[in-house]
Chains A and B, each alone.
Chain A
Amino acid sequence: MGNEAIGRGLVEEGCHLFASYPGTPASEVLPSVVQFSQETGHTMHIEWSVNEKVAYEVALAGSYTGKRAAVAMKQVGLNVASDPLTRSAYLGVIGGFVIIAADDPGPHSSQTEQDSRLLAHFAKIPVFDPSSPREAKEMIRQAFELSEKYEIPVMVRPTTRICHARQNVPCLKPRELVRRAHFQKDPNRWIATPHFLRNLHRILNEKLDRIAEEEAYGPVARSGDGSLKERCIIASGVSFAHAYEILEEMGFLGKIDFYQVRVPYPLNRSFVVRIHAGYRRVLVIEETYPVIELQLRSDAVLGRRNGWIPREGELTPDLVEEVLERFLERTPATRKALQPAKGRRPTLCAGCPHRAAFFAIKETFPEGIFPSDIGCYTLGMNLKAIDTCHVMGACISQGAGFYHAYQQDGSEMPTIVVTIGDSTFFHAGVPALVNAVFQRARFLLVILDNGTTAMTGNQPTPHLGIRADGSQGNPVLIEDLVKACGVKLVRECDPYDQKRFVACLQEADRYIRSPEGGVAVVLSRHPCLLDRGAMKAQAVYPVRVTQDCSGCRVCLERLECPALALDEETQQVKIEANLCVGCGICEFVCPGGAIAVERGAAK
Chain B
Amino acid sequence: MAEFDSPGGLVEAATQARLAGYRKMDAYSPIPIEELNEALALRRTRLPLLVLVGGILGCAGGFGLASWVSAIAYPMDVGGRPLISWPQFIPVTFETTVLGAALTAFFGMWALNKLPQPYHPVFNVEAFARASTDRFFLVIEATDPRFERDATWRFLENLHPVGVSEVAP
Q: Do A and B bind each other?
A: no
